Amino acid sequence: EPEVTQTPSHQVTQMGQEVILRCVPISNHLYFYWYRQILGQKVEFLVSFYNNEISEKSEIFDDQFSVERPDGSNFTLKIRSTKLEDSAMYFCASSDWGRLSGNTIYFGEGSWLTVV
């Protein structure tokens, strides 16, 4: 079964450093997403991406964050100047966004980011 893959599975970074989280969505999907889950809290929507541009972003997704689809297969989340509160599990997801199919979104296994 096709799956969304994410790298790295775990990254530790120092506060103020830049981090790039990478994702390979399912190949025929057109919509891509990043979500995050701070330890002990609910999963939160960060951003959705379609047709090479951001289609929606949450209040969390400020200028510190950016997304890119650099080569037609990868989908990256960049966090500039990381803060302690950015420590979380970051999930990449993708969907073929069929209105009649009800938009099933498939998630990767997540990337644990620890900012120290």
Residue 54 or 116 with smaller CB distance to other proteins = 54
Q: How far is the CB of 2 from other proteins (least distance, A)?
A: 13
Residue 16 or 95 with smaller CB distance to other proteins = 95
What is the length of the chain?
A: 116
Instruction: Kindly list the distances between the CA atom of residue 41 and the CA atoms of 57, 94, 98, in Å, as whole numbers in the listed order.
Output: 19, 22, 29
Question: Which residue in this structure is represented by tokens 């080569």?
Answer: 71
Residue 18 or 56 with smaller CB distance to other proteins = 56
Report strand pairing: 75-79 vs 5-7: unpaired
- Give contact residues for other proteins (rule: CB under 8 A): 31, 33, 35, 42-45, 48, 50, 55-56, 91, 95, 97, 99-110
